[in-house]
Amino acid sequence: MAPGFSLPRVWRRRRRGSLTALTVVALLVMIVWWLASSWLRQHPGWVAVEQAGWVAGIVSAALGVVSAAAAVMALRASRLTDRPQPRLKKLVQVGRLPPAASWRQDRRLFVDLRTAAKSDTTEVGVRVLAGMGGVGKTQLAAQLVPHLVERRRLHVLVWVTATSQDAIVTRYAEAASVLGLAEAGVSPNDAAIRLLAWLAHTDRRWLIVLDNLDNPADATGWWPPASATGYTVVTSRVHEDVWGSDIRAVTPVGLFHPDEAIAYLRSAVVDPGSREGAAELATDLGYLPIALAQAAAYIRERGLSCASYRQELADRRIRLRELLPDSTALPDEHAARLDATWSLSIEAVDRLVPAGLATPILHLAALLDPHAIPMDLFTSNATLAYLTSAAARSEMVTPNQVRRTLQHLHRYHLIEFDVVAGLIRMHALVQRATRDNIDADRIQGAGNAAADALLQTWPDSERESDTTAALRANVTALHHHTDSLLYTSRIHPVLVHAGISLGGTGLVAAATDYFRSLYQLASDHLDGDHVDTFTLRREAARWLGRAGDAAGAADAYAALLADQLRVLGPDDPLTLVTRNNLAVWRGAAGDATGAATAFSELLADHARLLGDDHSQTLTTRNNLAYQRGQTGDTVGAVQAFAELLADFLRVLGPDHPKTLIARSNLARFQGLSGDVSGAVDGFTRLLPDVRRILGPAHTDTLATREQLAYYQSRAGNPTGATSALAEVLDDRMRILGADHPHTLTNRLHFANCRGATGDPAGAFADLAELLRDQLRVVGPDHPDTLVTRREMACWRERAGETREAVRDLQEVVQDMLRVLGPCHIETASTRRELTRVQARVEDRAGAPDILPETDTHFDDVHAGGAGDD
């Protein structure tokens, strides 16, 4: 029999009952024998004396057997009573049960835990509550005890603070002593073994809690046994992935549900007048139970309101520790303040192989977006160089070492590592506590490394995706946390790149506001004539134009050019770029002649400074030919593009993107000059090359498909064009999103083609829906919005509502005159449409007197010029 093993209680009761019965039987036999002997001696006639002796011998033998058995049972019973036995008249508790937290919430997780502990027979006898520090795992385990006691389902409780194997064995030995399973002098290991043996066989109900078992190896060899009458609960910061087993069930313990967090604050902040802003504060604290408890204690202590605490919490100059109760007044017997809650986990990870990488990785992650940090950031060359320096390594840190460290951090709930999505998440308060412990030099090093890593990770394509959105969010967070560190002497390029990405994915108005705001901030740290401030002004003007204010963009570029001429001189490359962009937006604002003149002058300077075959010189020739066509000289534009294309092919080759642009412009102006079949042929031959070189999802590929469909419609195939435009629209919706300007323009062309197939009412309905989206996305004064209004009026007229169409066109003309000016191509086209429609009303004589017709040719497909730089 193993040391410390004791018989089950039922067996011991049966053995004591057998001993008593044997004793009674022995006494009865002796009495019967005495009586029988006396009677036989008095009546010898019944049996012979020899028979009486024989009977007496049998009875004597039986008495001997009974007496011997009774003696043996008595001896063994005396030995059993010498060994200590459990005393279980009431609940036996070993170890201190943490008191219930004040204003404790009945969490939804507790229902699952209570149900699991209710079963009398279960193959899974261990329940692991796994979660980051401060989420309330210990409280959930403690809450289970009174629930079981009230239902008389608990006789023995052993609460172990399982911070080491020694702590586990010591508590087990104490429990064995309390239960009477181990006498004084028995070693802790032997006593613990006796406890585990007794737990395996007892019919008493027991619960073992291994609290804070953050190193699962400490419990190896000391796990409580599987039992129909026993249950084990573990609380651990180690991630649930580590605990996978068929004999252990894992319950991830996360943050409060928003309703639970709000209910807690409204209870814990006892003054009703201080509860305003409780819901918002719960969000700010990320629904973290320990943060809510300590914030509520601080609010009560200082007599604050939730709203005022939020203001202090938002102030980055105030450290987190300054917004928490004194360490001597922590609520609910918290062992540490919020800012120190995760220090033990960080130290544990830093000791794991590869050692020393956890802290610098957390420093970098603490400066980024808590919701989604692309994992590729941590394996970029910039990050690897930073980690090598921060960890004082003699050899470069490898991506594999970084991934292992990220997995360790995930294991201890310091981050959440989503391998499938390739994202890292980190609770905002863990980030703040980490930032509070970084000195200024380390913040600058980590911030610059993060900025470089973001720039290196950015995809070449500016198409909108989850990745580009996540990268922009991380730039925003980095900029917020590092403030001026990213433009101490220069503006870090990642800030400019984020704004360009914002506009390039279609959010042109947001890009305009972004660069204006960034320019104002940079002006406070850099000289107004600094080259980087010029860059921000250029980008702000660029996206202002793309947001629809071409005249405003031209004015902004004109002001910028004056300052660059003064500071940089006329031949500086940045000055030449600004001259190009100024000419582009002058043309977009309606002054095609002025734009053509500006490009002609710029071309002479480019040829002088760079040479005739320089890429920028060729681009300027492209822009000049485009503006020439915009003035109405489409035949001259075709000739200019044909000559330019030959030079592009000779200098840059057939597959260069600028060569493709020149081919697109040549085909387009062929169509505008009346050669529709030439345009169809040009775009048909261009499309496979664009798809091969740029890819099927590139914006220029989609634009080529759209232009081809448009000219197919003009060539007499509106049905085929409508089908093709529908396919392009589906791809743009999928690739660029519903609100991208190109997608909105595609919808305009699709609606017009639908009308051309004989469905003017359907075209009007499509345009009306488009107008609602344009008003929301780009606003009422954007040129595209005004064009949609004009097209709606035209299809209204074709549907028979001529007078209503006249009224609508008159309103559009007035708005175009106000916004675009009288010389803009769209204004001229709308005036021509108004004149045409007015000619169909009864008073035909009044039509020419209102607005004279112009000769400017209109085409509703967007231009394919090289554009601004």
pLDDT tens digits, one per residue of 673-720: 999 999 999 999 999 999 999 888 888 999 999 999 999 998 989 999
Residue 39 contacts residue 55 (beta carbons within 8 Å):
no
Cα–Cα distance, 669 to 636 (Å, whole number): 9
Measured in Å, how far apart are the chain's first and last C-alpha atoms?
89
Confidence of residue 98 (pLDDT cuts 50, 70, 90): confident
Reported as type and span, the H/E element at residue 233 is: strand 230-236
- Does residue 828 share a domain with residue 813? yes
Show which of 47, 82, 117 is a domain's final residue. Answer: 82
626 in any annotated domain: no
pTM of structure:
0.71
Cα–Cα distance, 25 to 292 (Å, whole number): 72
- Does residue 827 share a domain with residue 687? yes
- Does residue 213 share a domain with residue 289? no
pLDDT, position 74: 47
Pair type for strands 156-161 and 92-94: parallel
pLDDT, position 59: 52
Instruction: Give which of 687, 766, 757 is closest to 722, Cα–Cα.
Output: 757
Confidence of residue 248 (pLDDT cuts 50, 70, 90): confident
> What is the average pLDDT across 611-635?
92
Look over the chain and give the mean of its residue pLDDT values, rounded to a whole number. Answer: 83
Confidence of residue 35 (pLDDT cuts 50, 70, 90): low
What is the number of domains present in the chain? 4
pLDDT, position 508: 82
Please indicate whether residue 488 or residue 640 has the higher confidence score (pLDDT).
Answer: 640
- Does residue 846 share a domain with residue 725? yes
447 in any annotated domain: no
Number of H helices, E strands in the chain: 35, 9
pLDDT, position 14: 42
pLDDT, position 31: 67
Reported as type and span, the H/E element at residue 231 is: strand 230-236
- Does residue 843 share a domain with residue 696? yes
Residue 837 contacts residue 806 (beta carbons within 8 Å):
yes
User: Is 433 in a helix, a strand, or coil?
Assistant: helix
> What is the average pLDDT across 627-638?
89
Reported as type and span, the H/E element at residue 136 is: none
pLDDT, position 192: 95
In this predicted structure, the answer to whether residue 114 has a pLDDT above a threshold of 90 is no
- Does residue 194 share a domain with residue 151? yes
Confidence of residue 851 (pLDDT cuts 50, 70, 90): very low
Confidence of residue 322 (pLDDT cuts 50, 70, 90): confident
Residue type, 112: D
557 in any annotated domain: no
Cα–Cα distance, 126 to 105 (Å, whole number): 24
Instruction: Give which of 358, 349, 824 is closest to 586, Cα–Cα.
Output: 824
Provide the residue range defining the domain that includes 309. Answer: 258-340
The token pair at 363 is 């420093």
- Does residue 688 share a domain with residue 831? yes
787 in any annotated domain: yes
Show which of 236, 252, 268 is a domain's final residue. Answer: 252
- Does residue 137 share a domain with residue 114? yes
Residue type, 401: Q
In this predicted structure, the answer to whether residue 796 has a pLDDT above a threshold of 50 is yes
Residue 764 contacts residue 799 (beta carbons within 8 Å):
yes
Percentage with pLDDT > 90 across the chain: 48
Check which CATH number belongs to the domain holding 719 and give it: 1.25.40.10
598 in any annotated domain: no
- Does residue 208 share a domain with residue 134? yes
User: Is 157 in a helix, a strand, or coil?
Assistant: strand
The token pair at 265 is 């604050």
The token pair at 371 is 């919701």
pLDDT, position 417: 87
pLDDT, position 41: 58
User: Which residues are 233's β-sheet partners?
Assistant: 127, 209
> What is the average pLDDT across 398-413?
92
pLDDT, position 857: 28
Residue type, 47: V
Residue 247 contacts residue 89 (beta carbons within 8 Å):
no
- Does residue 276 share a domain with residue 248? no
pLDDT, position 823: 74
54 in any annotated domain: yes
pLDDT, position 4: 37
Show which of 340, 364, 395 is a domain's final residue. Answer: 340
SS3 for 375-396, per residue?
Answer: HHHHHCHHHHHHHHHHCCCCCC
pLDDT, position 46: 44
In this predicted structure, the answer to whether residue 79 has a pLDDT above a threshold of 50 is no
Confidence of residue 384 (pLDDT cuts 50, 70, 90): very high
pLDDT tens digits, one per residue of 171-220: 999 999 999 999 888 999 999 999 999 999 999 999 999 999 988 889 99
Check which CATH number belongs to the domain holding 178 and give it: 3.40.50.300
User: Which residues are 157's β-sheet partners?
Assistant: 93, 207
The token pair at 626 is 């485009």
pLDDT tens digits, one per residue of 516-556: 999 988 888 888 889 999 999 999 999 998 887 888 999 99
Confidence of residue 777 (pLDDT cuts 50, 70, 90): confident
Q: What is the CA radius of gyration of the chain?
A: 43
Cα–Cα distance, 430 to 133 (Å, whole number): 10
> What is the average pLDDT across 29-36?
61
How far is CA 295 from each of CA 132, 203, 324, rounded to the nearest angstrom? 18, 46, 6
Q: Give how far the C-alpha of residue 689 lies from the chain's centroid of Cα atoms, to the nearest Å.
A: 38
pLDDT, position 11: 38
- Does residue 159 share a domain with residue 308? no
pLDDT, position 323: 83
131 in any annotated domain: yes
- Does residue 66 share a domain with residue 37? yes
In this predicted structure, the answer to whether residue 506 has a pLDDT above a threshold of 90 is no
Pair type for strands 423-425 and 373-374: antiparallel
pLDDT, position 863: 40
pLDDT, position 106: 73
Residue 598 contacts residue 554 (beta carbons within 8 Å):
no
Cα–Cα distance, 83 to 6 (Å, whole number): 9
pLDDT, position 26: 56
pLDDT, position 861: 35
347 in any annotated domain: no
The token pair at 196 is 């585990």
